[in-house]
Amino acid sequence: MASRYGLEIRAATGTDAAGLSVLLRAAGYPTAPEVLAERLDALRQGSGAALVAAEWGPPSGLILLHWYRTLEADLPVAQVTTLLVGPEERRRGIGRLLLKAGAQAARSAGCGALQLLIDPEQPTLHAFADATGFLGGGTVMVRPLRKKS
């Protein structure tokens, strides 16, 4: 999908499960690679996307999105339920690239807005959301994907 200086943003596959397991464990969400592979396969069958940032090794970042219809909006909403960058890979723009690729996937799916779920215990993610154009506060922040006409 996107590439920058050897960094590639692409769809996650079952072959990424071992590396994603390490990434999730570092974030406090230990999950066995076999379970992750099954979940990635199931996700590809549904309404959503899992994208990884990878250089010359295991994934260094992950964004997981789901899109759905609401009664409040004409277009579906894409919700970012996971946005992770490995501790050693942070402050290099990987999170922004994952978010940009995720927004493009959501636009391609016909979505009109992107929601980011934020745990109140994650002040750095809240600051990242502010810096990348999300509005609102609390645990859900939103940014439009399409310009208003």
Query: Quick one: CA dihedral 89, 93, 94, 99, positive or negative?
Result: positive
Pairing of strands 2-4, 113-117: unpaired
∠ CA(39), CA(97), CA(23), 5° rounding? 40
CA distance 12 to 44: 9
CB 106 within 8 A of CB 114: yes
CA of 2: how far to CAs of 24, 30, 45, 83, 103, in Å?
22, 28, 23, 17, 12
**Averaged pLDDT, groups of 10, the chain, 149 residues long:** 69 90 88 91 86 86 93 92 85 90 93 86 81 79 72
pLDDT of residue 112: 92
* pTM: predicted TM-score of the whole model, two decimal places: 0.84
Residue ranges covered by each domain of the chain: 2-144
Is CATH 3.40.630.30 correct for 2-144? Answer: yes
Which residues share a beta bridge with 64? 50, 82
Token pair 């999170």: residue: 95
pLDDT of residue 136: 77
pLDDT of residue 5: 59
